[in-house]
Amino acid sequence: MKVNSADMNTYKLVVLWMVLLLILIYSSAHAAETISAGKSEVPKKETTGTLLDMLSGGSASILENIDVEEAKEKAIEKAKTEAVLKVIGLYVNSETLAKEKTGLIKGFRLKQDEIISEYRIVSEERGDDGFYRVKIFSKIREDAVKGLLMQNLRDDRVIVVTSEKNMRNVLKRNVLEHELIQKIKGKGYAIVDYRTVKNKTVNNLVSLIRQGNTEAVKKLGIYYLTDYVVAGFVETEFSQQTKDIYSANATGQVKIHQIGNKKEIVSLTKHNMKGFGSNTDKAGIDAIKKISDKMAQDSIKAMPGKSVKNITLKIKEIGDYASFRKAKKMISDIPYVKDVKDGKRDFDIEETTLYIKTTKGTDYIAGKISELRKFVVKEVGASDITVEARKI
Query: Cα separation of 217 and 180, whole Å?
Result: 17
Q: How far apart are CA 335 and CA 157, in angstroms?
A: 11
Quick: pLDDT tens for 274-301: 999 999 999 999 999 999 999 999 999 9
Predicted local confidence at residue 30, as pLDDT: 42
Q: How far apart are the first and last CA of the chain?
A: 90
Residues 6+ apart with CB under 8 A from 166: 235, 236, 281, 284, 285, 288
Angle (CA) 211 215 216, round 5°: 60
Going by C-beta distance under 8 Å and a sequence separation of 6 or more, which residues neighbour residue 209? 161, 216, 217, 220, 229, 231
Q: Exposed, middle or buried: residue 224 (CB in 10 Å: 0-12, 13-18, 19+)?
A: buried
For residue range 159-217, what is the model confidence (pLDDT) as tens digits? 999 999 999 999 999 999 999 999 999 999 999 999 998 899 999 999 999 999 999 99
Q: Give residue 9's pLDDT.
A: 54
Phi and psi for 306 in degrees, rounded to 5?
-120, 80
Please tell me the predicted confidence (pLDDT) of residue 173. Answer: 94
Q: Is the pLDDT of residue 141 over 80?
A: yes
pTM above the 0.85 mark?
no
Q: What is the mean pLDDT of the chain?
A: 88
Chain centroid to CA 38: 29
Listed as own residue / partner, the contacts of 210-213 with beta carbons closer than 8 Å and 24 or more positions apart are 210/161, 210/162, 210/163
Write the DSSP assignment of 173-200 as a string of letters: S-HHHHHHHHHHHHTTPEEP-GGGS-SH
Bridge partners, 344 (sequence order): none
Nearest CA-CA partner of 253 in 162, 159, 160: 162
- Strand 154-166 relative to strand 226-242, pairing: parallel
Spatial separation of the C-alpha atoms in residues 248 and 241, rounded to whole Å: 9
Residue 318: helix, strand or coil by DSSP?
Answer: coil
Which pLDDT score is estimated for 38? 39
∠ Cα 72 110 55 (to 5°): 45
pLDDT (tens digit per residue) in 68-125: 889 999 999 999 999 999 999 999 999 999 989 988 998 898 889 899 999 999 999 9
Kindly list the distances between the CA atom of residue 267 and the CA atoms of 217, 251, 255, 304, in Å, as whole numbers in the listed order. 14, 14, 4, 16
Domains defined along the chain, listed by start: 51-150 (3.10.129.140), 154-300 (3.30.160), 309-389 (3.30.70)
Residue 58, CA distances (Å) to 108, 141, 350, 380 in order: 16, 20, 37, 39
Residue 194 to residue 86: CA distance in whole angstroms: 22
- What span, in angstroms and rounded, lies between the C-alpha atoms of 191 and 175? 16
Q: List all residues 6 or more positions away from 202 whose beta carbon is below 8 Å from its beta carbon.
A: 93, 194, 220, 223
When pLDDT is averaged across residues 135-159 and rounded to a whole number, the result is 95
